[in-house]
Structure 1
């Protein structure tokens, strides 16, 4: 079977029951995508297929033959990180780092969805051609990626900085405090 993984054409033979995650990790030694829950609930295995984010643990590899697959290893490299990877470092968007590759791939795919006008559960006017990435919208769109360490604030800050999302608006001062 033929794949394009991180820009490299690859021909492989394998059991057609192999998940895309197992193909990436066990056959191609691309260990960025992690096997967290192996049920599609945590997002640690998120990769991009032609720019669309998927849970690779739920996908059979044969479904994606001939398609372009990007893992965290294909987004950046040492000395030339993807801007989101650099922002994760700057904003402490990780602690143990287990979920980080999935978080980053998911955020890249999320921005493509947002730019394409795909609404989320919290999108206001679903008929709008584009949606603003408010903090609420960002958190909803990233809700399929869990962080066991709770580094969500750093993750959100990194995504906001990279993709120009508005920062959270502080609560207005009460009228008594302003006087």
Structure 2
């Protein structure tokens, strides 16, 4: 891991990669989201990074690649950076670390995990949808990121990006986004 007289520090490279902010979710990094699959530093100063996109059609992959290349090039001794997106193994929300989950919650997005299933409350008007939420929607409730209540429902399988859906909290009456489970 040396180039000329400069040794490339793999720990510094990993830190640079993992600290890249997600362009669609600025409070979290790709490291917090668990997108970093593998990283290798060659003796010639070439760094190879394998990332797992959060969704196969993720529109932010080009931005993420550019940001990773820019961040890694700042590390002493790095001569070249190669970024590859992998789909095997697939990324899942289980890869989000505790800090990432907390930052997402503070941002108003609920990652999956830990909620007790509850039936869909009746009587609350909902936006008319052309597509009915999937049958598994009620089996995957999420705690509200605003008040912590577990009395939440999925309003739509479709959110602002392909990896998120729309939810609603019955207790505080707030809509929120959640990462889909795939």
With the shorter chain as reference, the TM-score category is under 0.3
What TM-score, normalized by structure 2, do the two folds share?
0.26
Specify which structure has the bigger relative contact order, considering alpha-carbon pairs within 8 angstroms and separated by 6 or more residues.
1
Structure of greater Rg? 2
Which protein is richer in helix relative to its size? 1
What TM-score, normalized by structure 1, do the two folds share?
0.26
